[in-house]
């Protein structure tokens, strides 16, 4: 279980890299996707995050068509963060294609990875990436090619640590053992969607991550804002583009509303906001290293940062676990049934 301050740093998986329990996600830096914020507000949020003591920032080459990386680069080279670049952990991702009609513009081939990393380094205006993620699974590239290329980048000093984002558990395991068998740089982290409204990852991905000692950094911990507490049966999301949650969202249903009601009750008892209670539940999950928080405004960021100080009781966890319970896939139901027979 995490401590109760953002400066209660944790090591990322099997590495010695120390990161904040709340990671600042930079997907909202830039307005090219219609959901983000401009450089000035992005700079202000970075100021606030670093002032709080946080040290972990997550972006990707494709976020706002490369502008997210450029804003980060500007901040640390000629903005308020000048001179602070080496005091933070900057994570970015390759895989997404920024070059229409170029079949090698994205993916996990050696050609694609090396080009993507050079482009990211230029936008970030730095000589190294602290943590490089494979953004999602490229089914067309052998894992040996991807892992070998990532090892080369680490040996060149252009990348410090490597991780996988949004890959099936069996692929992650294959990648890790391919690296270990070849004495290549091992994976130290796993980025996946995880929240009170996305618990299907617990059966395979989370148990695998704990076994392989991969630090888990969940994204969308508030399910895009559904768990923020702003919406309920009587208050649907507005149509003005101020939120990523759409009225027709599959997550706006009676089960979610009941969960939000419970979060509201627990938040009132603990003296925190609904979002903070949802984030704290995730911070307390076994295997979670650093939760990625995103914000479009400084007030949202400050609210999210307050989750570190929240304390949930065992009964709070029991009630939230029950309200958000999901059916586990085979063979877990069968294994639960026969467990007693094994122990006898």
Percent helix, strand and coil across the chain, each to the nearest 5: 45, 15, 40
Among 49, 63, 75, 251, the one annotated catalytic: 63
63 in active site = yes
SS3 at position 15? coil
Cα gap 317→297, rounded to integer Å? 29
Q: Are 175 and 166 contacting, i.e. CB atoms less than 8 angstroms apart?
A: no
Q: What pairing do the DSSP bridges indicate for beta strands 22-25 and 291-294?
A: parallel
Phi and psi torsions of 168, nearest 5°: -60, 155
Integer Cα distance of 307 and 283 in angstroms: 9
Sheet of 89-94: strand order equals 215-216, 189-191, 159-165, 129-134, 89-94, 56-58, 22-25, 291-294
Q: CA torsion sign, 220 to 279 to 192 to 115?
A: positive
User: Who's near 150: CB < 8 A, 6+ residues apart?
Assistant: 113, 132, 134, 159, 162, 184, 185
Tokens of 137: 């699974």
Which H or E run includes 171?
helix 169-181
**Which residues are the active-site residues?**
63
């Amino acid at each position: 279980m995490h401590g109760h301050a953002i400066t209660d740093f944790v090591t990322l998986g099997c590495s010695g890299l120390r990161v904040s329990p709340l990671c600042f996600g930079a997907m909202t830096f830039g307005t090219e996707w219609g959901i983000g914020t401009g450089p000035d507000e992005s700079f202000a949020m970075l100021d606030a995050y670093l002032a709080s003591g946080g040290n972990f920032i997550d972006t990707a080459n494709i976020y706002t068509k490369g502008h997210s990386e450029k804003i980060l680069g500007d901040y640390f080279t000629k903005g308020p963060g000048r001179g602070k670049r080496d005091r933070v952990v900057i994570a970015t991702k390759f895989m997404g294609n920024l070059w229409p009609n170029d079949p090698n513009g994205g993916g996990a081939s050696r050609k694609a990875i090396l080009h993507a990393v050079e482009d990211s380094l230029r936008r970030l205006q730095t000589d190294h990436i602290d943590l490089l993620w494979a953004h999602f699974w490229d089914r067309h590239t052998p894992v040996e090619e991807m892992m070998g290329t990532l090892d080369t980048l680490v040996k060149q000093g252009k990348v410090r640590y490597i991780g996988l984002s949004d890959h099936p558990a069996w692929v992650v395991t294959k990648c890790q053992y391919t690296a270990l068998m070849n004495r290549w740089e091992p994976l130290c982290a796993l980025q996946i969607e995880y929240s009170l409204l996305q618990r299907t990852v617990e059966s395979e991905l989370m148990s695998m991550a704990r076994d392989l000692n991969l630090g888990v950094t969940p994204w969308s911990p508030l399910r895009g804002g559904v768990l923020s507490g702003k919406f309920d049966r009587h208050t649907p999301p507005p149509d003005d583009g101020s939120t990523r949650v759409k009225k027709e969202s599959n997550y706006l249903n009676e089960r979610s509303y009941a969960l939000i009601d419970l979060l509201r009750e627990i938040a009132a008892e603990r003296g925190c906001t609904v979002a903070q209670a949802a984030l704290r539940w995730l911070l307390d999950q076994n295997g979670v290293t650093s939760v990625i928080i995103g914000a479009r405004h400084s007030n949202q960021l400050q609210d999210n940062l307050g989750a570190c100080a929240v304390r949930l009781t065992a009964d709070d966890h029991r009630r939230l676990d029950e309200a958000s319970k999901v059916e586990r896939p085979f063979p877990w139901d069968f294994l639960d049934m026969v467990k007693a027979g094994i122990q006898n």
